[in-house]
Amino acid sequence: MDTQKSAAIAEVDVVVVGGGMTGMYFHYLLRRLGLSIQGFEAGTDVGGTWYWNRYPGARFDSESYSYGFSFSEEVLDEWRWSEHFAAQPETLRYLNFVADKFDLRRDIRFSTRVTGAEFDAERSRWQVSTDDGAVTSARYLVLATGVLSAPFIPDIRGVERFGGLTWHTSDWPREPISLSDKRVGVIGTGATAVQMITEIAKDIGHLTVFQRTPNFCKPLRNRPITDDEQREIRERYPAIFQRCRETLGGFLHDFDPRSAFDLSDAERQAFYEQQWQAPGFAFWLGIFADCFTDDAANATAAEFVREKIRERVTDPAVAELLAPTSHAFGTKRQPMESGYYEVYNQPNVRLIDLNADPISRFTETGVETSTEAFDFDVVIFATGFDAVTGALDRMHIQGEQGQSLKHLWQNGPQTYLGIGVSGFPNMFIAGGPHNTTSFCNIPRCIEHNVEFIAECIGHMHTKGLTRIEAEAEAQQAWTRHALDLAADTLFVKNDSWFMGANIPGKKRVFLNYVGGVPLFLEKLADVAAAGYAGFSLK
């Protein structure tokens, strides 16, 4: 085993980049293998997504008890979620509880960002550079950088001249800030904006929402977990996690195999109503599978949601702006809401349609569109993330031939299982492109990936092997498989972060994996059973 050799270049077995849920689980598992680990985390503490995203209203859209870690009976026994869909402060407390329990911070250097990593082919080791000027040498580079962790702020002319405050939702001010007398502009209406707008609108001076694309939002239907429910959840944990292994997206909900047209119009409406009234993603991941492959089936769901929106918004013109018509239902991540549409009935809230009236620039006092000038004290960017590849691209990762990962992926990413990349030996991505993680109840898929990677590293270690690399043919076949599956769905017709289409200049290509959790787990098991087929081991 490698140990620290000098003050200048520390040597370890594994560098783990990221201290979110993925990184935390890596520390837990890799330590049990007796490996030396150096973790790096840009934040001051663990938590990743739940550390950064502290905006008002941030909460789970997955059932809390389906979201937490499943690996520890003790944690399942000791932790109690207060609500069916827990809010961010509780989730961060949970992750701190897990970190404390297993001493997971021990090997993590916080407030430290990895800036680059270079593969030294001669020694089969990674040289990892950090923004504190240090270099760490590791046999394995494990990237636990998250799929929605690279914030995106659009390049709008004049933003530097604006005299008020601006921030991205993932960078909410740490000091409490009251908006009750503020004129606030919000750019974006995705899942984040929907949660945040609903919360800040409860106590705000004036709110202007700039919307480019309306979304099909569904009521979350959150409520506290009673003592009886808690007892039942504890008993049901094995069944809950088993269910999540069997559904396509690792959620408690799963698609209905019937066609939308197997039912009469009345039966279909009744089914939609039932799913609409159910909590969570029931009306998205629990409706007919052909709604995601067939335009006509999809239209039945889309119209159902549009009607629900119209019922809740008083001004018919505003209701029409909020009712999506430019894309198919469910082909963007569905925002979950708890009073979002009623916000637009408030006298101190305005919705601006950027399609009719685009933002032209920031001024010293606010924002100008093509027809109007708005004065703001605060402008909040709820403009999303450079998803899946963004966090990887922002580090300078150089493979065996000196090629950069970012450059290699400029025409679309190529991976084997969304885990390995040919030309980048001893590097593992937990949840890279064409992996289940970004199209999943994320912690469920995180666990599958981390377990596979940790077992693989353990296998290498016990066999005395020092180099593993995805084979080019396996990578090509996997990428084709992932893209072929997606080609049969409506997801590829829509512009969203699923397609990388939210980032100007990013190659428009499907980034997720729609084969589903059961198929992916089968594939991982087969690959491992065959001695890591598709990887070459030395």
Q: Which stretch binds ligand NA7 (CB under 6 A): 16-24, 36-44, 210-218, 422-430?
A: 210-218
How would DSSP label each residue in 291-340?
A: GGT-HHHHHHHHHHHHHHHHHH-SSHHHHHHHS--SS-TTSSPPPEESSH
Q: How far is the CB of 71 from ligand NA7 (least distance, A)?
A: 23
The answer to whether the beta carbons of residues 328 and 302 sit under 8 Å apart is yes
Beta bridge mates, 470: 535
User: Can you tell me the distance from the alpha carbon of 258 to that of 98, in angstroms, rounded to the nearest whole number?
Assistant: 41
Q: Which stretch binds ligand NA7 (CB under 6 A): 8-16, 62-70, 206-214, 299-307?
A: 206-214
- Does position 86 interact with ligand NA7 (CB under 6 A)? The reply is no
The answer to whether the beta carbons of residues 325 and 331 sit under 8 Å apart is no
- Does position 68 interact with ligand NA7 (CB under 6 A)? The reply is no
Q: How far is the CB of 385 from ligand NA7 (least distance, A)?
A: 6
Q: How far is the CB of 252 from ligand NA7 (least distance, A)?
A: 17
Select 271 or 497, whichever has its Cβ closest to ligand NA7: 497
Q: Which stretch binds ligand NA7 (CB under 6 A): 137-145, 372-380, 381-389, 483-491?
A: 381-389
Closest CA to 164 of 456, 431, 375: 375
- Does position 159 interact with ligand NA7 (CB under 6 A)? The reply is no
Beta bridge mates, 434: none
Q: How far is the CB of 39 from ligand NA7 (least distance, A)?
A: 24
| 359-362, strands of its sheet edge to edge | 359-362, 366-369, 373-375
How would DSSP label each residue in 464-475?
A: T---EEE-HHHH
φ, ψ at 354 (rounded to 5°): -70, -15
Select 192 or 198, whichever has its Cβ closest to ligand NA7: 192
Q: How far is the CB of 516 from ligand NA7 (least distance, A)?
A: 18
User: Can you tell me the distance from the alpha carbon of 14 to that of 141, in angstroms, rounded to the nearest whole number?
Assistant: 6
Burial 97-116 (b: 16+ CB within 10 A, else e): ebbeebebbebbbeebebee
Select 114 or 191, whichever has its Cβ closest to ligand NA7: 191
**Considering all CA atoms of the chain, what is the largest pairwise distance in Å, rounded to the nearest integer?**
73
Q: How far is the CB of 455 from ligand NA7 (least distance, A)?
A: 28
- Does position 249 interact with ligand NA7 (CB under 6 A)? The reply is no
Q: Which residue is nearest to ligand NA7 (CB)?
A: 190
Q: How far is the CB of 393 from ligand NA7 (least distance, A)?
A: 16
User: Can you tell me the distance from the alpha carbon of 304 to that of 270, in angstroms, rounded to the nearest whole number?
Assistant: 11
- Does position 330 interact with ligand NA7 (CB under 6 A)? The reply is no
Which residue bears the tokens 């979110």?
20
- Does position 154 interact with ligand NA7 (CB under 6 A)? The reply is yes
Q: Which stretch binds ligand NA7 (CB under 6 A): 216-224, 279-287, 376-384, 398-406?
A: 376-384
Select 137 or 170, whichever has its Cβ closest to ligand NA7: 170
Q: How far is the CB of 513 from ligand NA7 (least distance, A)?
A: 15
- Does position 385 interact with ligand NA7 (CB under 6 A)? The reply is yes
Select 429 or 503, whichever has its Cβ closest to ligand NA7: 503
Q: How far is the CB of 494 from ligand NA7 (least distance, A)?
A: 9
User: Can you tell me the distance from the alpha carbon of 413 to that of 402, in angstroms, rounded to the nearest whole number?
Assistant: 17
Beta strands in 90-212 (DSSP E): 108-109, 114-120, 125-130, 135-143, 165-168, 183-187, 206-211
How would DSSP label each residue in 58-74?
A: -B-SS-HHHHS--S-HH
Select 76 or 193, whichever has its Cβ closest to ligand NA7: 193
Q: How far is the CB of 188 from ligand NA7 (least distance, A)?
A: 3
Three-state secondary structure call for residue 387? coil
Select 80 or 212, whichever has its Cβ closest to ligand NA7: 212
Helix axes 442-463, 227-246, angle to 10 degrees: 60
The answer to whether the beta carbons of residues 392 and 405 sit under 8 Å apart is yes
Q: How far is the CB of 64 from ligand NA7 (least distance, A)?
A: 16
- Does position 474 interact with ligand NA7 (CB under 6 A)? The reply is no
Select 452 or 497, whichever has its Cβ closest to ligand NA7: 497
Which run of H or of E encompasses 17? strand 9-17
Among 354, 465, 483, 521, binds ligand NA7 (CB under 6 A): 354
Select 136 or 449, whichever has its Cβ closest to ligand NA7: 449
Among 36, 112, 127, 192, binds ligand NA7 (CB under 6 A): 192
Residues lying near ligand NA7 in the complex (CB under 6 A): 148, 154, 187-193, 210, 212-213, 333, 354, 382-385, 497, 502
